[in-house]
């Protein structure tokens, strides 16, 4: 193997490694976007409830039952903390099995 073959091999390995890193980042960005969409849906349902009823709901179940909130419950875990009927609840969405999010 001559010097140029080694250079080509190293460059090929670097390009492959870069491609793997970029694909991982794209997947992560996509997952973050989907999580944000679920959070926005919960927030929108809570705000609709406030506009219609004059109070934010006490629970996520109320939004599911009365405002047709739907999301993949096997994929996402949602924490919904309502502390006053006139203050928007704290909403956290986490993808189940996600690490470092």
Alpha carbon 101 to its chain centroid, in Å, reads: 9
Residue 63 within any structural domain of the chain: yes
Is 100 inside a domain boundary? no
As a whole number of angstroms, the distance between CA 32 and CA 55 comes to 29
Domain count, the chain: 1
Q: Which residues contact 9 (CB under 8 A, 6 or more apart)?
A: none
pTM attached to this predicted model = 0.69
- Would you state the pLDDT for residue 31? 62
Assess if residue 101 is contained within a domain: no
- Model confidence at 101, pLDDT cuts 50, 70, 90, reads very low
The mean of the pLDDT values for the chain is: 84
What is the pLDDT confidence band of residue 11, given thresholds at 50, 70 and 90? confident
């Amino acid at each position: 193997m001559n010097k140029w073959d080694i250079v080509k091999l190293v460059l090929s390995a670097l390009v492959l490694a870069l491609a793997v890193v970029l694909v991982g980042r794209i997947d992560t960005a996509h997952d973050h976007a989907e999580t944000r969409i679920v959070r926005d849906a919960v927030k929108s349902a809570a705000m609709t409830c406030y506009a219609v009823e004059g109070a934010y709901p006490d629970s996520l179940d109320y939004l599911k039952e009365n405002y047709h909130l739907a999301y993949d419950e096997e994929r996402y875990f949602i924490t919904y903390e309502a502390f006053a009927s006139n203050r928007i609840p704290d909403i956290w969405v986490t993808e189940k099995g996600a690490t470092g999010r």
